[in-house]
Chains A and B, each alone.
Chain A
Amino acid sequence: MKKKHWYDYLWIWSILYFALGFFNILFAWLGMIDFFLPLVFAVFGGNKFFCNHLCGRGQLFSKLGGELKCSRCKPTPRWMSSKWFRYGFLIFFLTMFGNMVFQTYLVGAGASSLREAIKLFWTFRVPWGWTYTAGTVADWVAQFSFGFYSLMLTSLLLGLIVMALYKPRTWCAFCPMGTMTQGICKLKNKE
Chain B
Amino acid sequence: MLSKRLAAVDKTRCVACGVCENICPLGAIKVHRGCYAAVETGRCVGCGKCAKLCPGGCIEVKARPEA
Interface residues in chain A, defined as those with a beta carbon under 8 Å from any beta carbon in chain B: 1-2, 41-42, 46-49, 51-53, 58, 62, 66, 73, 75-76, 78, 81-82, 86, 166-174, 178-179, 181-182, 184-186, 188-189, 191
Q: Which of A47, A82, A172, A191 contacts B17 (CB 8 A)?
A: A172
**Closest residue to A45 on the B side, CB-wise?**
B34
- Given the known interface contacts A62-B22, A78-B57, A169-B55, the answer about A52 and B35 at a Cβ–Cβ threshold of 8 Å is no
The 4 nearest A-B residue pairs measured at CB: A185-B34, A52-B18, A48-B34, A172-B17
Is B31 located at the chain interface by the 8 A CB criterion? yes
Residues of A within 8 A of B58 (CB): 81
B62 within 8 A of A: no
Residue of A nearest to B52 (CB): A73
- Cα–Cα, bound, A49→B21 (Å): 11
Pick the contact of B53 from A46, A53, A169, A182 — CB < 8 Å? A169
Q: DSSP majority for the A interface?
A: helix
Q: How far is the CA of A62 from the CA of B54 in the complex (A)?
A: 11
Which one, A172, A186, A188, contacts B55 given CB within 8 A?
Answer: A172
Contact A51 B16 (CB under 8 A): yes
Query: CB-CB < 8 A to B34: which residues of A?
Result: 41-42, 46-49, 51, 181-182, 184-186, 188-189
Cβ-based interface call for B19 (8 A): yes
Evaluate contact between B15 and A172: CB separation under 8 angstroms: yes
Give the most central of B16, B21, B25, B52: most A CB within 10 Å: B16
Among A1, A52, A76, A191, which residue has its beta carbon within 8 angstroms of that of B56?
A: A76
Contacts of B56 in A (CB 8 A): 76, 81, 173
- Contact (A167, B17) CB under 8 Å given A48-B31, A62-B22, A181-B34: no
